[in-house]
Amino acid sequence: MAFIITDPCITTKDSACVDVCPVDCIHPRKDEAEFADTPMLFIHPDECIDCGACVPACPVSAIYDSPDATPASQKDLIEANAKYRSGDAAAFAEATNIVNAHMSAHPELINIPAAERAAAHQA
Ligand code: SF4
């Protein structure tokens, strides 16, 4: 199991979660090359220790505590979190493609302010 970052992170990329994660499994960090171009941040599912520290740190409530807890409208982003790897251009492209497809499929979410998106996930 692992925590999952979802679409309120798109364009937000606040990075407060990165600062509190004890195992540095949230990427890209602001000091990594991919940060400028990534649409959102991702949690490495094999490295996450399920501590929960990132959840209250996120200002837009983008993080769910498991794939099972991730709402139906966000399930596609589970794969994006799993695909992304720092320094791996192909993995970055795959994860970005999933996020772009998600944005195209869910204009009803993307077109509302990021801070209000999580509340709309269950609608
Ligand atoms: Fe990092 Fe803990 Fe959040 Fe996993 S649950 S991404 S280990 S802060």
Q: Are 85 and 91 in contact (CB under 8 A)?
A: yes
What is the whole-number distance in angstroms between the Cα of residue 12 and the centre of ligand 1?
A: 18
How many independent structural domains does the chain possess?
A: 1
CATH code where residue 60 lies? 3.30.70.20
pLDDT per residue as tens digits for the range 95-114: 999 999 999 999 999 999 99
In Å, what is the CA distance from 48 to each residue of 11, 34, 45, 59? 23, 20, 5, 20
- Residue 114: Cβ-neighbour burial (10 angstroms; 0-12, 13-18, 19+): buried
Range of the domain at 53: 4-120
* 122 or 85, higher pLDDT: 85
- Between CA 74 and CA 121 the distance in angstroms is 8
The rounded mean pLDDT for the chain is 97
Q: Are 28 and 41 in contact (CB under 8 A)?
A: yes
Residue 123 has pLDDT above 90, yes or no: no
pLDDT per residue as tens digits for the range 46-64: 999 999 999 999 999 999 9
Would you give the DSSP letter of residue 109? H
The pLDDT of 40-44, averaged and rounded, is 98
pLDDT per residue as tens digits for the range 62-98: 999 999 999 999 999 999 999 999 999 999 999 999 9
Ligand 1 pocket, residues with Cβ under 6 angstroms: 3, 20-21, 23, 25-26, 43, 48-54
Give nearest CA residue, ligand 1 atom 6: 48
What is the whole-number distance in angstroms between the Cα of residue 78 and the centre of ligand 1?
A: 15
Residue 20 has pLDDT above 90, yes or no: yes
Top mutation candidate among 19, 41, 43 for ligand 1, by most atoms within 8 Å of CB:
43
Top mutation candidate among 26, 58, 81 for ligand 1, by most atoms within 8 Å of CB:
26
- Residue 91: Cβ-neighbour burial (10 angstroms; 0-12, 13-18, 19+): middle
- Residue 64's DSSP bridge partners are 4
